[in-house]
Amino acid sequence: MIKVVETKPFEGQKPGTSGLRKPVQTFQQPGYLENFIQSILDVSLADVKNRNAVQLVVGGDGRYYSSQAIQTIISMCAANEVGHLIVAHNGIMSTPAISAVIRARNAHGGIILTASHNPGGINGDFGVKYNCANGGPAPDQVTNEIYARSKQIKQYKRLDPSMPDVDVGRIGQHVVKHSGGEMMVDVVDSVDMYLNLLKAIFDFELLRKFVSSKRLLIDAMNGVMGPYVRRIIVQELGASADAAIRCDPLPDFGGHHPDPNLTYAADLVDKMRNGPYDLGAAFDGDGDRNMILGAKGFFVTPSDSLAVLGENLERIPYFRRDRVKGYARSMPTSRAMDQVAKKTGLKCYETPTGWKYFGSLLDAGLVSICGEESFGTGSDHIREKDGLWAVLAWLSVMATMPDDQSNSVESIVRQHWRTYGRCYYCRYDYENCDARSCETMMSTLAAKIAANQLPKTIESDGTTYHVDEAFNFGYTDPVSGEQASNQGLVIQFNGGASRVMFRLSGTGSTGATVRLYIEQMEMDAEKAINGNQEDYIRPLAKVALQLSCLSEFTGRQQPTVIT
Ligand code: G16
């Protein structure tokens, strides 16, 4: 029986940078998940004439509360007369794989259960996001409609709770019969399908040969990537079984913070520093982020990783077949990619933070590769960032170079700096601060910028910084014409060579996180290769802290995470 349940709106169901992320306890409130799912269905099915023809994909990173949430979603989709669901085996499917499945099956969209890199477990976070038919995160217009709907919702539909659960542990077709008809549920394992997609992009024979002579260390951080790493890196490419670490997906990620950066993947960094490995990588909870490390723990900043891959795209068969169209990066991502674009003559688009802003550029065929400073890299093969794709891309670059010292991760990056200059880059995160103080800090700085009240020059550690441009970043999508304002504060110095940027994170679930991004370009080849990161970043960081009065507003003297 289909039940119509009376409900009242919950406050704050506004999707952030990528979906609605809240503590598990918030999602466990009766009706909370149901309200948000009903809002998604109301908006995404609003123009659908024949709901029976609609296919939706449902899966996620397997974090705590996923199993219950999946059964609720199955029940609600059936009650809302959706014809067909494709559900991940045991509920586990990486975000890039979901994007791929939506595209491969011509699905109407997908509901992804993840809070990405946020901690999981009963005291951690849960999250829900909606992806559209192109396989990418819903654009602002859609998430705004979902939020508006969540504020007015009065009822949701579900099947009678006495209905048996669908066994998502059994791969194959299931039928959910109800008073309004029936819904097909396909429980699928995406690993093979995703592997086939990668096989159409990369030269697996070449990669197999290369991997047989190298030592890899790939850390799935007990997130969703474990099965993909075992199947693709170990079984298919022939890496040794001990190259795959923390590969069992756990509902609480083993108590760790599944965020592939120098702080939260410190174990991997240590193992790389002290071990015999040539390439190390880590992924986040849902498998879209990646961190790349070279031998002895050489860290590749995500911005440099993007630029190096952008420079070398034609080493990958997919991009040799289908010409490289252009590049994109988010505003706070370093301008290393832009330097490559200057040489190739292709355009590099600058978008707000959030993968959703790349979607229209990729759909319109304007961009082949895009990336973000937040450990995201991807291409037009899907509409999400793709951690494993990035690892295979790096292996492809290394494998197509002479197999001597010059094809190590570090040599490739240093050679890149020699050719294109280097963007010394650092991000400071001040996590879980008081939200109101952070908002006041941002609005005070924004007001100073708007009133042209920043000092003209600032001295810091013997360097003089001339403020030459300061603005609140806004964006007009060149394809859809959609506008996004208030996307971060940017202050540029010394002809644009130095930049500091401030944003409030849109992915946290409690309090506020201030992100301070610091970038210093160095075009002199010698200084680019041999300079000291600290010497470039420290004085600029002091300037940023002085201009923003960050410590005064937040009470924080030190960032929680530095990457
Ligand atoms: C999400 C988005 C990314 C964005 C990142 C950081 O990543 O998909 O596009 O760069 O958040 O967002 P913020 O700085 O607002 O925290 P993920 O991996 O969390 O889905």
- Tens digit of pLDDT for each residue in 336-355? 999 999 999 999 999 999 99
Q: How far apart are CA 447 and CA 438, in angstroms?
A: 14
- pLDDT at position 461: 92
What percent of the chain clears pLDDT 70, i.e. is strictly above it? 100
Element (DSSP H or E) covering residue 23 = strand 20-23
- Quickly state the pLDDT bin for 403 (edges 50, 70, 90): confident
∠ at Cα 544 (539, 550), nearest 5°?
125
Residue 555 backbone phi and psi in degrees, to 5? 75, 5
Give yes or no for residue 175 having a pLDDT over 90.
yes
87-110: average pLDDT = 97
The DSSP output letter for 225 is T
Pocket test for ligand 1, best of 372, 432, 561 (most atoms within 8 A of CB): 372
How many angstroms does the Cα of residue 72 sit away from the middle of ligand 1?
Answer: 26
Give yes or no for residue 322 having a pLDDT over 90.
no
Q: What separation, in Å, do the N-terminal and C-terminal C-alpha atoms of the chain show?
A: 52
Q: How far apart are CA 59 and CA 111, in angstroms?
A: 7
Domain 193-420 has CATH 3.90.550.10: no
Fold that domain 2-188 belongs to in CATH: Alpha-D-Glucose-1,6-Bisphosphate; Chain A, domain 3 (3.40.120)
CB 563 within 8 A of CB 260: no
pLDDT digits (tens, 9 = 90+) for 35-63: 999 999 999 999 999 999 999 999 999 99
pLDDT digits (tens, 9 = 90+) for 405-440: 899 999 999 999 999 999 999 999 999 999 999 999
- b/e for 239-259, b at 16 or more Cβ within 10 A? beeebbbbbebbbbbeebbbb
307-311: average pLDDT = 98
Count of Cβ atoms closer than 10 Å to residue 420 Cβ: 22
- pLDDT at position 405: 83
Q: How far apart are CA 332 and CA 505, in angstroms?
A: 12
How many angstroms does the Cα of residue 465 sit away from the middle of ligand 1?
Answer: 30
- Quickly state the pLDDT bin for 260 (edges 50, 70, 90): very high
∠ at Cα 122 (117, 124), nearest 5°?
30
Ligand 1, residues at Cβ distance < 6 Å: 17-18, 116-117, 284, 288-289, 353-355, 372, 374, 376, 505-507, 515
Paired with 32 in beta bridges are none
Element (DSSP H or E) covering residue 245 = strand 244-245
Count of Cβ atoms closer than 10 Å to residue 170 Cβ: 11
- pLDDT at position 363: 97
- Helices and strands in the chain: count of H runs, count of E runs: 19, 27
What percent of the chain clears pLDDT 90, i.e. is strictly above it? 96
Specify burial of residue 169 (Cβ count, 10 A radius: 0-12, 13-18, 19+): exposed
Token pair for 347:
């355009």
Residue 119 backbone phi and psi in degrees, to 5? -60, 155
Radius of gyration of the chain (CA): 23
Give yes or no for residue 180 having a pLDDT over 90.
no
Domain ranges of the chain: 2-188, 193-420, 422-562
Give yes or no for residue 123 having a pLDDT over 90.
yes
The atom of ligand 1 lying closest to the CA of 515 is 14
- pLDDT at position 544: 97
Q: How far apart are CA 64 and CA 114, in angstroms?
A: 10
Residue 6 backbone phi and psi in degrees, to 5? -70, 140
Give yes or no for residue 391 having a pLDDT over 90.
yes
- pLDDT at position 555: 94
- For the chain, the average pLDDT equals 96
CB 293 within 8 A of CB 268: yes
pLDDT digits (tens, 9 = 90+) for 454-493: 999 999 999 999 999 999 999 999 999 999 999 999 999 9
- pLDDT at position 17: 86
How many angstroms does the Cα of residue 355 sit away from the middle of ligand 1?
Answer: 7
How many angstroms does the Cα of residue 333 sit away from the middle of ligand 1?
Answer: 12
Q: How far apart are CA 22 and CA 128, in angstroms?
A: 9
305 is catalytic: no
Q: Which residue has the tokens 């969703």?
A: 224
> From the candidates 39, 116, 437, 548, which is the catalytic residue?
116
Count of Cβ atoms closer than 10 Å to residue 260 Cβ: 28
Nearest CA residue ID for atom 18, ligand 1: 116
Rounded to 10 degrees, what is the CA torsion of 487, 488, 489, 491?
A: -110
Q: How far apart are CA 472 and CA 502, in angstroms?
A: 10
- b/e for 348-382, b at 16 or more Cβ within 10 A? bbbbbbbbbbbbbbbbeebbbbbbbbbbbbbbbbb
CB 258 within 8 A of CB 264: yes
Q: How far apart are CA 529 and CA 376, in angstroms?
A: 24
Helices (H), 322-464: 336-344, 359-363, 387-399, 409-420, 435-450
CB 520 within 8 A of CB 444: no
Q: How far apart are CA 284 and CA 48, in angstroms?
A: 35
The atom of ligand 1 lying closest to the CA of 384 is 8
Count of Cβ atoms closer than 10 Å to residue 25 Cβ: 13
- pLDDT at position 507: 85
How many angstroms does the Cα of residue 374 sit away from the middle of ligand 1?
Answer: 7
Higher pLDDT, 239 or 405: 239
Q: How far apart are CA 441 and CA 146, in angstroms?
A: 29
Let me know if the fold of 193-420 is the same as that of 422-562.
no
Nearest CA residue ID for atom 2, ligand 1: 354
**Superfamily of domain 422-562 in the CATH hierarchy:** Alpha-D-phosphohexomutase, C-terminal domain (3.30.310.50)
- pLDDT at position 182: 95
The atom of ligand 1 lying closest to the CA of 385 is 8
Q: How far apart are CA 265 and CA 40, in angstroms?
A: 34
